[in-house]
Amino acid sequence: MPDTITNKLGTEIMVGGIRFKSNVLMAPLAGYTCFPFRLMAERLGAGSAYTEMVSSDGLKYNDRATSKLLYTDDREKLKCVQLLGSIPAVFERAAKSERLEKFDVIDVNMGCPVPNVIKAGEGSALLEDLPRASKIIEACKRSGKVVSVKCRIGLNRQKIVIEEFARMCEQSGADMITVHGRTRDMMYDGEPLYEFIKKAKESVKIPVFANGGIDSKAKALEMMEKTGADGVMLARYGFENPLIFAELTGTQCNDTKYSLLMEQLEIAEECYDELYVLSYVKKLASYFMKKLPGTKQYKLALYRCGSIPELRTILGEIFTAPGE
Ligand SMILES: Cc1cc2nc3c(=O)[nH]c(=O)nc-3n(C[C@H](O)[C@H](O)[C@H](O)COP(=O)(O)O)c2cc1C
């Protein structure tokens, strides 16, 4: 295996027979990666963008909350859903269900570090239960869809499992793996441990994507170079600055933060109720201002705003002000 960069950032890649238009992906982010956001990420060059994690068991209920998470339509070219759970038969039922009929790719969450999730044997608990994880992948594969796995490198520095885990994923039929280069006990902080993503890449033939801490083109290139991964997956920074997808993939666009917000508002209004629209667009606008100095009063105005027309006015004031 060459230990220098093997793949260029922004190139297309085949995953289990499906063409991803670039090897720069948008991660699942609970509370954030709704349909309008995924559509925007895709337009700006992301090779795929995932729904936030959806309970595999919850699919059997026809509740409004799950329907919102699963909303998609033909504007989204590649449809990717992430499932959370612990029971292979439940995954199989979900993967074959009518509710997931439109989705091309099923990603299995094997990385979530939240205590309640682990207690239920879900998310990163599966890093400790390879036979079960394997059965889950096989169960999803029986749907005939492309199946990916998103995992961490291990539980802590003493329990790094990624090489064996990656091989298990491949042998069970997974078409791709995304490795978050942090251990479970690191949660979401600290420098990713690049060498273990590299080991995962060297252990399997299926595409391996690298995730964790990418917040600039330089970081994305560093990740590719240090891990030899087939591509990268952005999470928090992808939400903070979706224009990074255009930068990393060479996608032409004339968007500004303001135009993106107006587009998002319009699409969200078509798909969701006012409460949800307000909550989503406020979150996005706050993230867009995250690293800007002197935005406290704008954030307060956003927080207080109670209607869509008012939100439109406030966003205009904030994002078309001189200096924006
Ligand atoms: C608020 C939040 C929600 C997340 N939701 C999910 C999720 O639903 N599914 C998942 O696999 N990972 C989830 N993650 C993890 C991210 O996808 C990603 O692996 C992690 O944030 C590391 O990438 P980053 O350093 O680029 O943000 C979440 C992370 C955060 C901070």
**pLDDT of 273-300, one tens digit each?**
999 999 999 999 999 998 888 888 898 9
pLDDT for residue 1: 40
Q: Give the global pTM.
A: 0.96
CATH number at residue 127: 3.20.20.70
**Is 169 noted as a catalytic residue in this protein?**
no
Mean pLDDT computed over 57-66: 90
**pLDDT of 297-314, one tens digit each?**
898 999 999 999 999 999
Instruction: Mark whether 174 and 226 lie in a shared domain.
Output: yes
Instruction: Mark whether 144 and 97 lie in a shared domain.
Output: yes
Structural domains counted in the chain = 2
**What's the CA gap between 272 and 281, in Å, rounded?**
12
Name the residue at shortest CA distance from atom 19 of ligand 1: 180
Closest to 48 in 3D by CA, of 234, 204, 174: 234
Instruction: Mark whether 261 and 226 lie in a shared domain.
Output: no
Contact assessment for residue 231 and residue 25, using Cβ atoms and an 8 Å cutoff: yes
Q: Is 235 in the pocket of ligand 1 (CB under 6 A)?
A: yes
Q: Model confidence at 136, in pLDDT bands (50, 70, 90)?
A: very high
pLDDT for residue 295: 86
For the CA of 236, the closest atom of ligand 1 is: 27
State which of 191, 219, 249 marks the end of a domain: 249
The first and second tokens of residue 173, run together, are: 């039929």
Instruction: Mark whether 311 and 211 lie in a shared domain.
Output: no
Q: Is residue 45 domain-resident?
A: yes
The first and second tokens of residue 53, run together, are: 């994690």
**pLDDT of 13-51, one tens digit each?**
999 999 999 999 999 999 999 999 999 999 999 999 999
The first and second tokens of residue 243, run together, are: 């224009």
Q: Is 214 in the pocket of ligand 1 (CB under 6 A)?
A: yes
Instruction: Mark whether 148 and 270 lie in a shared domain.
Output: no
The first and second tokens of residue 38, run together, are: 């995924």
Instruction: Mark whether 78 and 140 lie in a shared domain.
Output: yes
Instruction: Mark whether 108 and 187 lie in a shared domain.
Output: yes
Q: Is residue 4 domain-resident?
A: no
Residue 324 has pLDDT above 60, yes or no: no
Q: Is residue 27 domain-resident?
A: yes
Contact assessment for residue 83 and residue 108, using Cβ atoms and an 8 Å cutoff: yes
State which of 224, 249, 274 marks the end of a domain: 249
Q: Is residue 6 domain-resident?
A: no
Q: Is 236 in the pocket of ligand 1 (CB under 6 A)?
A: yes
Residue 321 has pLDDT above 80, yes or no: no
Q: Is 30 in the pocket of ligand 1 (CB under 6 A)?
A: yes
Instruction: Mark whether 117 and 159 lie in a shared domain.
Output: yes
Query: Ligand 1: distance of its center to the CA of 13 in Å?
Result: 23
Instruction: Mark whether 35 and 110 lie in a shared domain.
Output: yes
Name the residue at shortest CA distance from atom 15 of ligand 1: 29
Q: Is 148 in the pocket of ligand 1 (CB under 6 A)?
A: no
Which domain range does residue 47 map to? 13-249
Q: Which of 34, 112, 140, 151 is catalytic?
A: 112
Phi-psi region of 199 (alpha: psi -120 to 50; beta: other; left: phi over 0): alpha
Q: Is residue 5 domain-resident?
A: no
Q: Is 111 in the pocket of ligand 1 (CB under 6 A)?
A: yes
Q: Is residue 34 domain-resident?
A: yes
Radius of gyration of the chain (CA): 19
Name the residue at shortest CA distance from atom 13 of ligand 1: 29
For the CA of 123, the closest atom of ligand 1 is: 11
Instruction: Mark whether 63 and 194 lie in a shared domain.
Output: yes
